[in-house]
Homo-oligomer: A and B are copies of this chain.
């Protein structure tokens, strides 16, 4: 079977960026090779899962008794995740969180660039505080289709999220990064990634309660 046709499971995919950061810090320390066992120990994981995860993306096999070539691993992961070719995105809703994401330039290292923000609030449009353009909602269609933008980020209040999603999809967006707690209804060929802070908090505080009970 052709390797490209085997899809990596989401569970594995989620671990890949973590591996990258470990490999980079090992490289900084001057290491040239790393074994699945060391990776697993550093990340509190199982060596089998590491070996399987890496098998999805490596271009050269690991060496028995030596491990994997760190430089090669880094190159493979960056290529796999597309960190070298910048993808354009837009963000809708330039409130506190939206403005922080809009003006955060760290995304470029993840192959990802926010080219403009949109807001309904006149006072935020072209506000001097932000280095990037903030435009009125009416211009979403134009900017997205003109620049062939495929990724939209939603940081509006929850009750307008669905409407914004509809607008983005109509304009040609195919992936939505949703920071509102709303569930979004989208066509089958559009992907949604929910970044639900309420969910994270629920998990964190439940686990906190449990650990406090134990000790």
In the complex, how many angstroms separate the beta carbon of A34 from the nearest chain B beta carbon?
Answer: 14
CB neighbours of A87 from chain B (8 A)? 205
Residue of B nearest to A193 (CB): B204
In the complex, how many angstroms separate the beta carbon of A163 from the nearest chain B beta carbon?
Answer: 14
Known A-B contacts A99-B100, A104-B96, A183-B42; A14 and B208 likewise in contact (beta carbons under 8 Å): no
CB neighbours of A10 from chain B (8 A)? 203
Interchain CA distance A175-B200 in the complex, whole Å: 12
- The reply to whether the CB of A38 lies closer than 8 angstroms to some CB of chain B is no
Residue of B nearest to A15 (CB): B199
- The reply to whether the CB of A174 lies closer than 8 angstroms to some CB of chain B is yes
Known A-B contacts A191-B204, A215-B189; A183 and B97 likewise in contact (beta carbons under 8 Å): no
In the complex, how many angstroms separate the beta carbon of A202 from the nearest chain B beta carbon?
Answer: 5
Q: Are B21 and A158 in contact (CB under 8 A)?
A: yes
In the complex, how many angstroms separate the beta carbon of A69 from the nearest chain B beta carbon?
Answer: 21
- The reply to whether the CB of A62 lies closer than 8 angstroms to some CB of chain B is no
> A104 contacts which of B14, B81, B97, B198 (Cβ < 8 Å)?
B97
> A196 contacts which of B17, B203, B204, B209 (Cβ < 8 Å)?
B17
CB neighbours of A202 from chain B (8 A)? 13-14, 16-17, 81, 110
Residue of B nearest to A198 (CB): B17
9 contacts between A and B (CB under 8 A): A10-B203, A17-B181, A18-B196, A21-B182, A111-B205, A191-B207, A193-B200, A193-B207, A195-B197
- A residues sitting closer than 8 Å to B (CB atoms) are 7-8, 10, 13-14, 16-18, 21-22, 42-44, 81-82, 87, 96-97, 99-100, 103-104, 107, 110-112, 150-151, 158, 174-175, 177, 181-183, 189-191, 193, 195-212, 214-215
